[in-house]
Amino acid sequence: MSSSRAAVHHSASSWRQPCPPAASAERSALVEEIAKRVLALGPGRLLVGIDGFTAAGKTSFGHELAAWISAAGRPVLRATLDDFKNPWRDRHLYDRESGEGYYRNAYDYASAKRLLLDPCRSPEATSAALCSIDPLTQHDHSVETTPLDTDAVLIVDGVFAFRPEIDEYWDFRIWLQIDAELSVRRGGERDQDWAGSEAESIHRNRYLEAERIYLQEVNPLPRMDVVIDNSLFASPQLVTP
């Protein structure tokens, strides 16, 4: 590992979650193994996508992966697809409340491509935006850009990361696997602050239904570079070799 730690650039979004403390030697070893697989792809910019059910632990794993890669000397950009959703002011124009509506309408893939993915894929680009619309405050951060190094690694987490609209961008694909009921329970507990007693039903009837549509229509798992069972945070298991 390089003795010179590189920078990790984060989104300005208020949705940003902190990097979790080390949970176990077993988890640290797995993160290291995946980081080495990413770095083995070689020099130049790399785009890593992390997907899985809601509350599968995508953001935490992305932060952990970013910390290891930056410690190895490669600059990292961290982003989440939740920062590239359609603004709430336009929600009267479409159904975003049902599972079907959430899957079809919640995310603004055109902005994700224009502001983030296309610049990171283009060797000529020198900067990219890590956030379009803050999902909590609805503040527009699209003009706030981050410098792009020639060897930067972009790590993006989010549900539906491998939809056809953006699937072609990824150099490395990660799926975090958890049971559907565990997703509902974790998500309900996590989102009680803003959803209250409705949190679990929102996860079951909206997010889980959207995930089922995604899996049926897109079938992303066969294209994964790695699948990780993240049911136990301290003891994740590689499902694919």
Domains of the chain, earliest start first = 8-229 (3.40.50.300)
Q: How much is the pLDDT for 16?
A: 80
Relative to beta strand 8-9, strand 127-129 is: unpaired
Q: Which residue has the tokens 């283009």?
A: 122
Q: Is 195 exposed, middle or buried (0-12, 13-18, 19+ CB in 10 A)?
A: middle
Q: Is the pTM of this model over 0.75?
A: yes
Out of 5-19, 45-59, 146-160, least confident range: 5-19
pLDDT of 68 over the 60 cut: yes
Query: Residues 172, 166, 133, CA angle at the centre, nearest 5°?
Result: 110
Confidence of residue 22 (pLDDT cuts 50, 70, 90): confident
Give dist(CA 43, CA 199) in Å, integer: 43
Residue 157, CA distances (Å) to 12, 129, 197 in order: 15, 15, 27
The Cα 192–Cα 241 span in angstroms is 36
Task: Determine the Cα–Cα distance for residues 221 and 72; give it in Å rounded to an integer.
Answer: 29
Which residues lie closer than 8 Å to 226 by C-beta, 6 or more apart? 34, 37, 173, 174, 175, 238, 240
Least confident of 150-164, 197-211, 220-234: 197-211
Has residue 241 got a pLDDT over 80? no
CA dist list (Å): 153 to 104, 120, 144: 29, 9, 19
Least confident range from 62-71, 84-93, 115-124: namely 84-93
Query: How high is the mean pLDDT of the chain?
Result: 92
